[in-house]
Structure 1
Amino acid sequence: MRRQVAASGYLRLLAVLAVALTASVACAPAPSGQPAPGAPAPPGPIRDPLGTPTESYYLPQEGSWDVPSDAPTARIASYEGTVDIEGLGSFAFNPSEVPALRPDIFWPGHFSLFDVVAHLADEGWFTMSYHYDSRLDTYVIEEIDGEMNWWYRAHYAGGWYDINAFRMDMYPYKDGTQLRLLRQNEDYLGRIYNSFAGEVARKSLNLGRIVIPEVRIGTSVFNDVPVSCHDVRADLLQPGTITALDVLLSLADQKKLNQMKLTW
């Protein structure tokens, strides 16, 4: 099994379903023209993710785009979870035993979907080889039990399986997450990995800054959007980790949005 440590200090853009504060975000474009030891104390009460009613917040509040201090925060996963792997079956795991391969992304106690699969392989339930590819900024599965070309589908409690192109090692696991690994054709995976390579190359060309070529919100289109980190998810993610919510907050900083509704 080959592993390579991820470079520290690298700002990452994570998927909105995985790391934004909310399950849904509604924006109005402006007119044209418990955390682990060592983590900062969360700004608000911790809520049970499996039984908490939705909460909504409107921004800005009194002219500020800061998320309210009483917003819900992440809890460390504690319920037994399962992973379904095509052709192999279903595997149960204890989240307290899962180590994180991306400590540059997650606070201690939190981990990704990829970490779950790597942990099960380490426990001997199946064989898996993988490595970290700095050109893609992600861990890549080489093979599972001799089979190649694996990708995943996942959803949180109350959601549904959907096709995605999110880095698996940056997709946070939480209680109630459903995860499946499926074999895909090589062309399909090639398109995903090429998109990752393009992101890394653009960041290098922009001297370490994330600039998104195009952001669409309804019928509004924003081009070449520079994104800065707001550390909204400091309960879960290491400082400097950029999320999709940062894209929206950066647009607000640039006076391109005039209202946003966040729903947890």
Structure 2
Amino acid sequence: MDALPGMPFDLSGHVALVTGGNGGLGIGMARGLAAAGARVAIWGRNAERNRAASAELAAGGAEVADFVCDVTDPAEVARAMEETVARFGRLDSCFANAGGSGVRKPFALLSPADWQATLDLNVNSVFHTFQAATKQFLAQKSGGSLVVTSSVAAILGVPGGGYSATKAAVAGFVRSLAVELAPAGIRANAILPGFIETEMSINTPKAFQEACLRRTPSGKLGTVDDMGGAAVFLAGPASRYMTGQTLVIDGGQSIFPM
């Protein structure tokens, strides 16, 4: 194995794609990647939010482009990937971050349509995104890094529909991909955030937020910018011998039972 470069966290020339990169956890990842020198593609469903995120990163000197894409639609994913590669010439890392809480109902009240909607949002979207990125990596013969945003809900019991199930599913998905794609130099890993303050999380019940805080030995909740360092690490050569793994970013919440 070649020696690591002298600056293993320098992503100059690297092209990173972040789905759901126009806010929440995604913008934290995009900020970190841009600060490390990567060229960043942002995918999101809301064109106005996409433009705002791009403008923020560009103001800091980043080369960035945004693309409207609903990652639950494989045709849109294929089109957005084609446009991304046309814009940047290549792809080096893909962060399948877009997702959400899905349908939150007591289990006994979930309909098959509710269950399917949560799967589409958090699992099938990752399948579509990762498959498009993998095809591009294979065409380039360059290897690459696949990273999915899972959740500590993958390892903790969280009530309310299929959310935990979907987040556990994608954590398992990267292990399968890691084994299959390693000969092509493609790595696959998952990030498991704890309670991070985002537009979505701050709308959860106050009692739930307080319970998360009590369980966090660091004594504070995470911010979206806590995602940036992990994104840089997993995108580039610093993590080149890491694949099929889950990286927990939760301030210790998952190990502290109080």
Q: Structures share a fold, TM > 0.5?
A: no
Q: Given the two structures, how large is their TM-score scaled by the length of structure 1? A: 0.26
Q: Which has the higher contact order (CA 8 A, sep 6+)?
A: 1
State which structure, 1 or 2, has the greater radius of gyration over its C-alpha atoms.
Answer: 1
Higher strand share: 1
Is the helix fraction higher in 1 or 2?
2
